[in-house]
Every structure is written in structure tokens, then in C-alpha cells.
Amino acid sequence: MTKKLFIQAIGKFLFGLILVGALLFIPAGTIRYPNGWIFILVLFVPMFVAGLVMMFKNPELLKKRLNAKEEEKEQKAVIAFSGIMFLAAFIVAGLNFRFQWLVLPKWAVAIGTVVFLLAYAMYAEVLRENTYLSRTIEVQEHQKVIDTGLYGIVRHPMYSATLFLFLSMGIILGSPVSFAILLFYIPIIAMRMKNEEQVLEKGLEGYSEYKKRVKYKVIPFVW
């Protein structure tokens, strides 16, 4: 662990916390938005813990996860679409609470929270299994195909985890409209995976054979 990496990690964490808070509570017109606080807790507390674990146990992986600068042209478009999607979903959630358009019942919020936390646990397991995971599409030096654990079931378990994470966000926030907006994540990750697999087949030895062995990308027998 280096001082620079620590400052970078803490800086991005605080920026994300402030940004999400602003996107939720300003449109809501109040900080008395219970769903907003639940979401912030389930998102940022595990994120902080995961960051601490990576910082001390695998700082190289943390460094990769903090790097979001894409070289692939297609992935720059994916990041832009994702950013617009999240901005719209969070702002609409705040407005939905403020004007009480369509509000989900507490039991639905509870289910969404459980799904989110289970998906977060899956996300952590994927990070444990694959130390080559970065936020950018690239083939790293000495990288090899991971085909054990969750990677023996689907080729992109990280996207499996984020799919359930992101779709449950709108439910936690109590906003069906935000849930509908976050459904756009499905075509977004489809676009990202298509480009990612092209890069991996071209640059990662054994990936083509791995694709033949593991047929499904995200959800077994479905996708």
C-alpha cells in the first residue's frame, strides 16, 4: 500500500458518497428520504470494507479497480451511457419521493435490499477469484483464463453481480420509474461484453476454448 493509492481511494470514495447524496437528496427536497439513506448504507459501507481489504491484502487489484480510463472506443460509449443512466435513475428517485408519483411498499424495498447485498457478496467473490479484474477492457501481462468457481458457470460473473446490483437499486430507492431506467443496463452490458470478448479472444490465450466450454455469459440457461 502506498500513500498515493490511499489518498486516491479515499478521494474517490468521498466523491462518490457526496455525489450520490446530492443526486438523491437535492431532487427529493429533503434529507428525510429514508430509502435514500438505506441505499447509501448498503452501497457505501460494503464498498468501504471491500476497499480496506483490497488496500491491505491486494493493493494492485485496488489500483486496477480505481482506474476507469478506457482505451477501447466502444467502451467509452458504454461508460457515457452508463453515466447518463445512473444520473437519471438517482434524480428521478429523489423526485419520485418528493412528489410521491409511484412509491413501492416497504416489503418490496426489503426484498430489493436483500438482493442487493447478496449480489454484493457475489461481486466480492468474483474479485477474490479473479485478480486480473480491472475496470477497463484490456489483456494484462501474464494474464490467464480463469475457469474455476463462478467462472465455471458463466463467463462474466462480474456482470451477473452488477446486473442484480443495479436492477435492485431502483427498488431500494422505492421508485419503479428508476427501476425502469436501470433496465437500460441490460443492453449496455451486452454492448460491453461483445467488445470485451473480441479483445479477449484476440489477446488472451485459451479464451476461445473457454468460450466453447462455458456457454453462458451472465445467467445460466438464460443468457
pLDDT greater than 70 at residue 138: no
pLDDT greater than 90 at residue 156: yes
Q: CB neighbours (10 Å) of residue 166?
A: 23
Judge contact between 79 and 22, C-beta under 8 A. Answer: no
pLDDT greater than 80 at residue 85: yes
The predicted model scores a pTM of 0.90
Per-residue pLDDT of 37-61, as tens digits, reads 999 999 999 999 988 888 888 787 7
Per-residue pLDDT of 140-151, as tens digits, reads 666 788 899 999
**pLDDT band with cut points at 50, 70 and 90 for residue 28:** very high
Could you tell me the residue ranges of all domains in the chain? 3-213
- Give the architecture (CATH level 2) of 3-213: Up-down Bundle (1.20)
Percent of the chain at pLDDT > 90 equals 66
Distance from CA of residue 8 to its chain's centroid? 19
pLDDT greater than 80 at residue 185: yes
Q: How far is it between the farthest Cα atoms of the chain? A: 54
Judge contact between 211 and 197, C-beta under 8 A. Answer: yes
| pLDDT attached to residue 141 | 65
| pLDDT attached to residue 131 | 73
**pLDDT band with cut points at 50, 70 and 90 for residue 130:** confident
Per-residue pLDDT of 100-117, as tens digits, reads 999 999 999 999 999 999
Judge contact between 147 and 127, C-beta under 8 A. Answer: no
